[in-house]
Amino acid sequence: MPIISGKNAVQNTGEFPAWGLVHFKAGQKNITELHYHDSDEFFFMIEGRCVMKSEGKIYTLEKGDVFVTRMGDEHELFEILEDTTLFWLCTELRGQKRQGHQHR
């Protein structure tokens, strides 16, 4: 199986697929605004608890959960309930192939 180097993460080169490992402290709110992508996005909960919204529904995530948003699904990360570490992954761009957060 090939290895995709971390140097290709979106915050470094803008290439896709893109991923990152992020840490948040309990009590943080409004982490991201409501947005969507021209790719699918996966959030793998490594530790902690947080609240996300997708397509108008609220979800509380905890260690071991995988949160999936399909291309075009509006979503946001808006509250960290416990110190949280998550790994996110955006698949290759499709459709209009725009990078970053898109807004309606």
Indicate the pTM of the whole model: 0.85
In-domain check, residue 104: no
In-domain check, residue 4: no
At 47-56, the pLDDT tens digits run 999 999 999 9
DSSP 14-77: --SSEEEEEEE-TT-B--S-SBB-SS-EEEEEEEEEEEEEETTEEEEEETT-EEEE-TT--EEE
Residue pair 10/90 in contact by the 8 Å Cβ criterion: yes
In-domain check, residue 3: no
At 38-49, the pLDDT tens digits run 999 999 999 999
In-domain check, residue 8: no
| pLDDT value at 8 more than 80 | no
In-domain check, residue 68: yes
In-domain check, residue 79: yes
Q: Count how many domains the chain has.
A: 1
- With cut-offs at 50, 70 and 90, classify the pLDDT of residue 17: confident
Domain enclosing residue 76, as ranges? 20-90
CATH number of the domain at 58, please.
2.60.120.10
In-domain check, residue 103: no
**How does the average pLDDT of the chain come out, rounded?**
89
In-domain check, residue 97: no
